[in-house]
Structure 1
Amino acid sequence: MFGGSLRNYCLLLPPALQLLNFPPQQQPEEEVPRPLVRFEYPSGHQLRLVPRRLRARRAVPDGDASRPQESGNGPNLDVIFMRRCYLMAGLFSTTTAIMAMILSKAIPLGIDLVMPGFICAMVSLLVLFLLSIGTKCRKFYWFSFILAGLFVSLSGMGVILVIWHRNLVYVCIALLAASTVILIFYFAGAWLPKVVLPGEAAILLLIVVFVVASLFVMTMFIFTDKLIYQVVYFFLLAIMLVPTSLYNAQVVHGRRFKLPVYEFVICAVNVYLHFLLFFTAFYYIIWTPIW
Structure 2
Amino acid sequence: MTIDTRPEAKDILPLPTSQATPSRANSDAAYLPSLEVDAFLIPPICREMADQLGSTALAPVAQALASAARRGCAMGGFLGLGPASGCTTATLSTALLLADRGKRVLLVDAADNAALTSLLGLDLEHGWDTARDQSLRELVIRSLEDRFDLLPKSTLPAPNKSRPGSVSETQGRPAHPLWRRLAELTSHYAFILIDLGSEAAERRASQRVPEGNGEAAAAPRRTADETDLAAACDVLFFLRDARRGREAHLAQPPSPSPTTRPRTYIIENFAPGA
Q: TM-score by structure 1 length?
A: 0.23
Question: Greater strand percent: which structure?
Answer: 2
Question: Greater helix percent: which structure?
Answer: 1
Q: TM-score by structure 2 length?
A: 0.24
Q: Highest CA radius of gyration, 1 or 2? A: 1
